[in-house]
Each structure stands twice: as structure tokens, then as C-alpha cells.
Amino acid sequence: MKKALITGVNGMDGSHLADLLLEKGYEVYGIERRSSVKNRINTKHLESNEKFHFITADMTDHNSLYRALKDSEPDEVYNLAAQSFVGSSWNIPMQTSDVNGLGVLRLLEAIREYQVVQGSSKQIKFYQASTSEMFGKMVENPSKETTPFYPRSPYGVAKLYAFWMVKNYRESHNMFACNGILFNHESERRGIEFVTRKISDGVARIKLGLQDKIALGNLDSKRDWGYAPDYVEGMWLMMQQDEPDDFILATGHSHSIREFLDIAFDYVGIDNWENFVVQDPRFFRPAEVDVLRGDATKAKEILGWESKTSFNDLVRKMVKNDLERLGEKL
């Protein structure tokens, strides 16, 4: 039985990945930060699974990460922990850099030290959740693995530091360490502060008469949106290769916030969504990323991976879930 350690297990990707690995017969250990109130909305269904275990550790604390490795003895480590909200990274740039950048270095170093202690018999495979935000200004559209990076936020800059540190440890210490450069992907488990979930939740509330307006920022920005359960499968496939490498996961199509609104409001039978959406200057970024689109040809050819869920289906799944969730409370 393989063992996997997932950081950020309570997040959207972490919880979907835990589901996938458990289905494949893994024993899964999920890292969560110490907190007086546990945030297990996405993982509550796993608490009774005897093959799933929570471990307390923190990306800002090297010793806790090392202890997590000792406790779990993993074959694979998936680093999905991050300060994941791009908009907040301008307000908390140092924390974002500490967790998203230096946190990855701490984890890589903990793995290297642990493997030295264990000897050559224990090789741990490492996956780093990189991001399309590293491309930022989009020097090339669509972006490929060879496209130059141009991050436009503290979040993107911190992730780029981590990306290069992973490559450095791979080449310097012969570690199996790979970067998954994932373009935007969403699901019903997305945090409420993200624009996609803010829309799906807001549309559901408007339909149910619980609110009147949705406040958003730039409606013209375009993103390459896929479905998170499809993307965690790509993460797993990267870790099953004989040699580590970096891969883009993307749909190859970009859609605007306006298109997301079109589908979401149409799903609940509301026309003229402009009457229910207001633009708020607080939600505009200091440096905007206008469009992101990725080319996943390499992942398709080598991993056999491609996005399965359409943009329309993704939006409808999210709105349907929020309608059902809120409807149960009425």
C-alpha cells in the first residue's frame, strides 16, 4: 500500500486529491495547521475513513514538516498548501512569500534531510502546485512549459521562487521533484472569496431571494478554467512517471468573467444579469492579469491527460451545488 502526504488537504485541491488517492488504495496523511477551530468543510467526509489521517504541521515551521514526514513515512508528497488568494497577496506580501516561497524550500529541505537519515532505500516523490499566475503578463499565448515567466502579483512571484527551487533540488540533489503548472480550475469546494464561487453562491442567493447584488471587480479578465477533480488526476499522473518533469495542465480555452455570469444566471432562469452585478473598485488588482490560457500538449502526449469537464458544465455544477446547499437551510 502506497502512502501519500498532502499539505493543504482541507483546501479544494487537497480534498479532491485525497478522494482520488483513497480510491486508488493509498493510505493518506493530510497536513492541517493548528487552529482552535478546524476548517474541515471539504474533508469532513474523510474523518471516519481508517485509511485517512490528519497531521498537524505548518509551512512556516521546518521541524513540524520533518516530524510529519517521520509520522507518515510517505512514498509521495503533494504540496498544495499556500496563501492561495491572489488578491490578498498585495496586502500580505511577506506572509504570502513566507508560505508560498520559503515554505516550499522548508519542505524540500525536510524531505532531503529525511531521505539522508533513511538512506537510499527511501526515495520520496515530490509534487509542487505551481500556477499559471507565474506567466502573468502572458509573453506567449497560449503558454507552454518553455514560455518565459512574467508574474504580476506577490503571489505569482512567490510561486515562481518555489518553482525554481523545485528544479534546483531536482538537479542538485537528484530528487524526484516535479512542478504542476495548473491553470485556473474550480469546483463546488472552492473558497467563497474566489470570484467563481462568489458568483455561484451569489447567483444562488439571488435566485432564492437571500440577496440583491453581487459585487465584483474586473469583468473582462479571461481565464483558462477547468474542473478540479480532472486536475488532481493530472497531479497523480506526474508522480507515476519514471523521471520527474514539469507539466502544464489546462483546457486551452479562455473565458471571461462575463461569460461565467452569462452561464450562471441563465442556469437559474434570470435574464439581464447586469441588473444584479455591481463593480466595486476594492476588487480590482493593482496589476491586472488580462488573460491566461495554457497549452497542455505535453501533458496529453506524455501523461495521457486532458481536461474532461466543459466550462459550461463546470459553472452549472457550482451553481447547482450552492442552490442545493442554501436551499437546505431555508
Residues annotated as part of the active site: 131, 133, 155
Rounded Cα distance, 144 and 126, in Å: 22
| Cβ 59 vs Cβ 35: under 8 Å | no
Spell out where the chain has E strands: 3-7, 27-32, 52-56, 76-79, 125-131, 177-182, 185-186, 214-216, 222-223, 226-227, 247-249, 255-256, 277-279
Cell numbers 493593482 correspond to 286
Angle between helices 103-118 and 62-72 in degrees, nearest 10: 50
Residue 76 C-alpha cell reads as: 509521495
Give the residue from 8, 16, 122 showing the smallest Cα distance to 65: 8
| Four-point Cα dihedral 157, 185, 109, 30, nearest 10 | 140
Evaluate the omega torsion of the peptide bond into residue 142 and state whether it is cis, within 30 degrees of 0.
yes
**What CA–CA distances, in Å, run from 83 to 71, 98, 154?**
25, 9, 11
Quick count: other Cβ atoms within 10 Å of Cβ 38? Answer: 14
